[in-house]
Homo-oligomer: A and B are copies of this chain.
Amino acid sequence: MLEPKCELLRSLHVPGSPLILPNAWDVASAKVVVAAGFPAVATTSGGVAASLGYEDHEAAPADEMFAAAGRIAAAIDVPVTVDSEAGYRMSPAELVDSLFQIGAAGCNLEDTDHSKSGLVDIDRHADRLGEIREAARARDYDLVINARIDVFLTDREKPQNEFLDQAVTRAHAYVSAGVDCVYPIFLFDEGTIAAFLKEIDAPVNILATPQAPSLSRLAELGVARVSYGSGIHHRLMDELKRVLAGIGPH
């Protein structure tokens, strides 16, 4: 049954007591996340794509990405939220159908336009998010939608507060369109996080990075969800490099 999982996943978004999501990339990693006591599992498109032999950013065929996420959802009992990138140019009905079929309780959708470098127009993206919400509602599927806001990725050198207005405007538009959570990925500056949270009356997801405030500080600030993106997969691949260096090919 998917409905209780959607409900549970949504209820775990508590400002001040964030849902912590150490993103998984295959069934083995997802099972370790569950065994460690995490109440939900998020996938990382970067990790899933790497595991399947593709680059991130929709370089992998959608059906392979959904099949991998579906294997995870089928293998564990907790809610699974699927990194659906920008939705693979699928129609809202097709996307919702794919997520439902694989048993996703939630999804991430990003506002990067993978056909060019840059962001999707804000109104067009808000319309699309609204259509996805509507398509889910039409089939009684209470999908938890986490809308990624990619403005902080567009220039990683610029002071983050210069992007605040743009991020807030996008967040308002996406929340009005019916999403459950907004995710200004790569936002790590504490002052800008606090200012963003003050403006947004919906759960906010922050990416855990070395530059970001600690988990406890993020909680104090009122964050409702913290995810690790492809960070943990990268850490494990670095560990594999160390193990192999200790073996050596000869």
User: Residues of A with Cβ closer than 8 Å to B?
Assistant: 17, 20, 22, 25-29, 32-33, 35-39, 47, 50-53, 71-72, 74-75, 208, 215, 228, 232-233, 235-237, 239-241, 243-245, 247-250
CB-defined contacts of A233 to chain B, threshold 8 Å: 28
Whether B36 and A51, one on each chain, are in contact in the complex, defined by CB atoms closer than 8 angstroms, is: no
Q: Assess A27 versus B39: contact at CB under 8 Å? Given A215-B247, A236-B239.
A: no
Whether B72 and A249, one on each chain, are in contact in the complex, defined by CB atoms closer than 8 angstroms, is: no
Whether B75 and A243, one on each chain, are in contact in the complex, defined by CB atoms closer than 8 angstroms, is: no
CB-defined contacts of A249 to chain B, threshold 8 Å: 20, 36-39
Q: Which 9 A-B pairs have the closest CB atoms?
A: A27-B53, A53-B75, A28-B50, A36-B244, A26-B51, A37-B249, A38-B249, A53-B71, A239-B239
Whether A244 and B22, one on each chain, are in contact in the complex, defined by CB atoms closer than 8 angstroms, is: yes
With both beta carbons as reference points, the residue of chain B lying nearest to A46 in the complex is identified as B28
CB distance from A39 to the nearest CB of B (A): 7
Whether B237 and A232, one on each chain, are in contact in the complex, defined by CB atoms closer than 8 angstroms, is: no
Q: Assess A235 versus B244: contact at CB under 8 Å? Given A20-B250, A26-B52, A249-B36.
A: no
Whether A32 and B75, one on each chain, are in contact in the complex, defined by CB atoms closer than 8 angstroms, is: no
What is the bound-complex CA distance between A241 and B235, given in angstroms?
Answer: 12
A-B contact pairs, 14 of them (CB 8 A): A25-B28, A28-B51, A32-B240, A32-B241, A32-B244, A36-B241, A36-B249, A37-B248, A51-B51, A53-B71, A215-B247, A232-B240, A236-B243, A239-B239
CB-defined contacts of A28 to chain B, threshold 8 Å: 25, 47, 50-51, 53, 233, 237
